[in-house]
Chains A and B, each alone.
Chain A
Amino acid sequence: MSGKDTGNIRKLSGIAVSPGVIIGKARVIDRSKVKIFYQYLVNETQINKEVERFREALEATKEQIISLKNTMPEQIKKHSFILDTHLMIVDDSMLCDSTINAILNEKINAEWALKKTIQTIKQLFDQVEDEYIKERFGDVENIAERILRNLAGKEPESLSEIKERVIIVSHDLSPVDTSEMNIGKVMGFITDVGGRTSHSAIMAQSLKIPSVVGLETATRQIADGDIIIVDGNSGEVILDPDDETIIHYQEKQLQHERYESKIARTSHLPAKTVDGHDIAIEANIEFLEEVVVAKDYGAEGIGLYRTEFHYLRSKGIPSEEELFEDYKEVAEIMAPDPVTLRTLDLGGDKFSSVMDLNREINPALGLRAIRFCLKEPKIFKSQLRAILRASAFGNIRLMFPMISGLQELLDSKKVLEEVMVELDHEGVNFDHNIELGIMIEIPSAVAVADMLAKHVDFFSIGTNDLIQYALAIDRVNEHVAYMYEPFHPAILRMIQQVINAANDAGIRVSLCGEMAADPLCAYILLGLGIEGLSMNAGGIPVIKKIIRTMSIEDAKADFAGIFQLETAKDVREFIANKMRDLFPDPDDRSLYNHE
């Protein structure tokens, strides 16, 4: 995963997370901190100049904040209070007078003086016990960063200002970054860090744009405005392509588009195997707007509606009414097909500052998802009310994330029952027989799957987290991302254990990780006996095509052999060979060949 020279062409290689080929202009999001240097000022003239330079940077900072405030989109205008606070901080005597005093008295440059001031302010904030006030230090740091950029003569970054079609090159992208972005102008994402399931990967897949992550040095090697080629099939990024290379990739691009449209034409056909088994193929979505795309791609339901983006986007806790309207609309559009609403999975990499959560050293193992909801019953109940109310308008299923054991499930069900009683008292109409399921994504839940199965209507195996927790790898850490391996025999055994537990209890079991959209995985999962797959809409046509070509009985027979294989590499080769036999047409090579 490093740069290599092949002739004159510089290439980077990383992990391909969303297919397609694009050629376009890079837009490098520079989040690195401005370097702070020390300088001793020798005379009065220098000192006065330095104070003047600092005052100018303050003015420029204020002007930038005011213009940000003026260009704010209507729907988020109510948050302009934050910018008013920022303006006050720029003017604050604690910040500006102290910095100017430091320049004058200690004869040091503005950058160093500001750094010292910020350190003093940090000490004061550190002593405060109130977590909400403590967090405001983040605003001070934000302002200091702006002032430093102005001292260095650099323009601040704003993702909402993207005007032409670009390829985003960034160290990492957070959900907040992408929600601020003018998505229509983004041709693709490439990042230094991240793995197959990082937020930027999931975003790119649902937007159907190419993406490569884990490139390590992309932001250092690519300059703003460079023409680059991103190959989301092979995971390669070409840094300074010559004409010949551009023509070659234009052909590749065309080929990919032709293939996509060819299989898309058949995606409305049902996912029935040659031996007559129907497999439920559903879509994972994050926003209401994606429902239409999901239907276009032939989704027969929504297998996973990730509800937390509502909480991140509105920059505050959304009202029950707001959630209800959103859920109702999704249910109505999809009816009679099912919509599976997963309750809030906040925490982990979707950290939101508005919730007053402390920064955790280990967010993936911290207060998130159902744990957070059980601790904050008000927030949890408000969402459950919205979901239940919406259930009167379509076929809604309810699903709890991150269940680690039976007690947690029973506690969550108790809250759900309380909400149902409340709604009955109020005479509100809802589906009393709403189907309840849980995500199986923690190894402990796999171990007690038989116990959990007695209390729910369905299981949904969340492989993104299950793989991360089972293999002990941080999925956003680029140094271990290569270990993220769905074909690890341990993972296959765990999936089989869950499917067996569900079958014994007579409940449905499906799978909703990125694994569901990987052609090789799909074959193996069906062989394991999975009844449904839920994936990003873009992956549906390919998976449906595979299902319509294969036989479950064959896959099951193969699986007996696969279970004997001891390494992920052997499993992968075995399946790839099988797929080569199933799809001899060279056009279909991309189904089993990712290189």
Chain B
Amino acid sequence: MKMTDDRTISKSDKALIKIMRINNELGIHARAAAKIVVLAGQFKSELFFRKGDREVNGESILSILTLACPKGTEVEAKAVGEDSEALIGALSELFEQKFGEGK
């Protein structure tokens, strides 16, 4: 398994971290995780999620699912790369819209 923890982040890269709260009824299940993966794929920056002491690749649906984030969980989203700001912005919006579930 790709160990994201020992990835070195070069100083020139912009790393942006934001704490996000999961507000949709079902939590991050398959459909929501799929939306995150699709979104992350549209940006050059890399995306990671941290919950507790586990950090996972934000472009892997299996990693996101097994992070297990029910409603009310707070996760730390970290974007690393030139367009990290845009990625975090778009991601916040997706979380705020409750992944388009309206609940």
Point out residues on A near B: beta carbons under 8 Å.
81, 84-85, 88-89, 92-95, 97-98, 101, 117, 120-121, 124-125, 127-130, 132-133, 136, 139-140
- Decide yes or no whether B62 CB sits under 8 A from chain A: yes
Count A/B pairs, Cβ under 8 Å. 64
A92, B65: Cα distance in complex, Å = 12
> Once the chains bind, are B26 and A132 in contact (CB under 8 Å)?
yes
CB distance from B56 to the nearest CB of A (A): 8
B26/A94 in contact, CB under 8 A? no
Mask: chain B, 68-81; 1 = CB below 8 Å from A; 0 = not = 10100000000000
Asked whether B84 is an interface residue with its Cβ less than 8 Å from the other chain, the reply is: no
Chain A residue contacts of B70, Cβ below 8 A: 130
Q: A97-B2, A128-B66 are in contact. Are A133 and B61 (CB under 8 A)?
A: no
Q: Size of chain B's interface in residues, with CB distance under 8 A?
A: 19
Residues on B lying within 8 angstroms of A by beta carbon are 1-2, 26-27, 29-31, 34, 37, 57, 59-63, 65-66, 68, 70
Residues of A contacting B1 in the complex (Cβ-Cβ under 8 angstroms): 94, 97-98, 101, 117, 120
Q: List 12 A-B contacts (CB under 8 A).
A: A85-B34, A92-B61, A92-B62, A93-B2, A93-B60, A94-B57, A95-B62, A98-B1, A129-B68, A130-B68, A132-B26, A136-B29
CA distance A406 to B30 in the complex (A): 42
Once bound together, how far apart are the Cα atoms of A136 and B63, in whole Å? Answer: 12
- Complex CA–CA separation, A22 to B37 (angstroms): 51
Given A88-B34, A94-B1, A101-B2, decide whether A130 and B62 contact each other with a Cβ distance below 8 A. no
Nearest Cβ distance between residue A358 and chain B, in whole angstroms? 16
Contact of B62 among A121, A127, A129 (CB under 8 A): A121
Asked whether A93 and B57 contact (CB < 8 A) given A130-B68, A130-B70, the answer is: yes
Task: Evaluate contact between A85 and B66: CB separation under 8 angstroms.
Answer: no
Question: Which 3 A-B pairs give the minimum distances between C-beta atoms?
Answer: A124-B66, A94-B62, A98-B1
Please report the C-alpha to C-alpha distance between residue A85 and residue B57 in the assembled complex, in whole angstroms.
Answer: 17
Q: Which residue of B lies closest to A95 (CB)?
A: B62
Other A-B contacts than A94-B2, A121-B66, A133-B66, 15 sampled, CB-CB below 8 A, are A81-B31, A85-B61, A89-B62, A92-B60, A92-B63, A93-B59, A93-B63, A94-B62, A94-B63, A98-B1, A124-B66, A128-B66, A133-B29, A136-B30, A140-B62
- With A93-B57, A132-B29 already in contact, the answer to whether A88 and B66 are too (CB < 8 A) is no
| Listed residue (B1, B26, B37) with the most chain A CB atoms within 10 angstroms of its CB | B1
Q: A128 touches which one: B2, B37, B57, B68 (CB < 8 A)?
A: B68
Q: Which residues of B contact A101 (CB under 8 A)?
A: 1-2
